[in-house]
Structure 1
Amino acid sequence: MKEAAPSAAPADGVQPVPPPAPGADRRPSLDFADSTAALPGGQRYDALETPDTARRWLLGRDLIAPDVRMYEVCAARTRTLRGHVRALFTARVEERMAPAESLRAVNEALTRVPTAPLLTWDETDGPRRVQLHPTDQAVDHALAALAADAADLLTGPDAALLAACGAAPCDRFLLRTHGRRHWCSTRCGDRVRAARAYARRSGA
Structure 2
Amino acid sequence: MDPSSIIDPVLPPAPGADEYLALDFVNTAIALPGGQYVDLLGTPKAVNHWLTGHALAPEDAGVQEMCATQLRALREHLRALFAARAGGLPALPSALSAVNDALTRTPTAALLLWDEKNGPYRASSCPPNEILDHALATIAADAADLLTGADAELLVSCDASPCNRYLVRRGRRHWCSTRCGDRVRAARAYARRTQPTR
TM-score when normalising by structure 1: 0.87
Q: Residues 89 and 122 (structure 1 numbering): CA distance in 2 closer, same or farther, change over 3 Å?
A: same
Across the aligned residues of Structure 1 and Structure 2, the Cα RMSD in angstroms comes to: 1.9
2:57 counterpart residue number: 64
Per-residue Cα deviation, 1:100-142 (whole angstroms, up to 9, x for no partner): 0000000000012212123356699875434454243111011
Which of 32, 36, 47 matches 1:43?
36
Q: In percent, how many aligned pairs have the same letter?
A: 56
Per-residue Cα deviation, 1:52-84 (whole angstroms, up to 9, x for no partner): 000110110001233422000000000000000
Deviation beyond 4 Å, 4+ runs, structure 1: 120-127
* Aligned mates of 1:67, 1:119 — CA distance in 2: 30
Per-residue Cα deviation, 1:114-172 (whole angstroms, up to 9, x for no partner): 12123356699875434454243111011100000111111110101100000000010
Asked whether the 8 Å contact 1:68–1:135 carries over to 2, the reply is no
1:27 counterpart residue number: 20
1:139 counterpart residue number: 132
Matched, 1:107 2:100: yes
Q: After superposition, where does 1:157-172 map in structure 2 within 5 Å?
A: 157-172=150-165
Runs of at least 5 residues in structure 2 that lack an aligned partner in the other structure? none
SS at match of 2:7: coil
1:202 counterpart residue number: 194
Asked whether the 8 Å contact 2:48–2:59 carries over to 1, the reply is no
* Aligned mates of 2:100, 2:154 — CA distance in 1: 23
The count of corresponding residues between Structure 1 and Structure 2 is 192
The letter for the 2-side match of 1:76 is: T
Runs of at least 5 residues in structure 1 that lack an aligned partner in the other structure? 1-11
* Aligned mates of 1:191, 1:27 — CA distance in 2: 25
Asked whether the 8 Å contact 2:2–2:46 carries over to 1, the reply is no
Asked whether the 8 Å contact 1:165–1:172 carries over to 2, the reply is yes
Asked whether the 8 Å contact 2:21–2:139 carries over to 1, the reply is yes
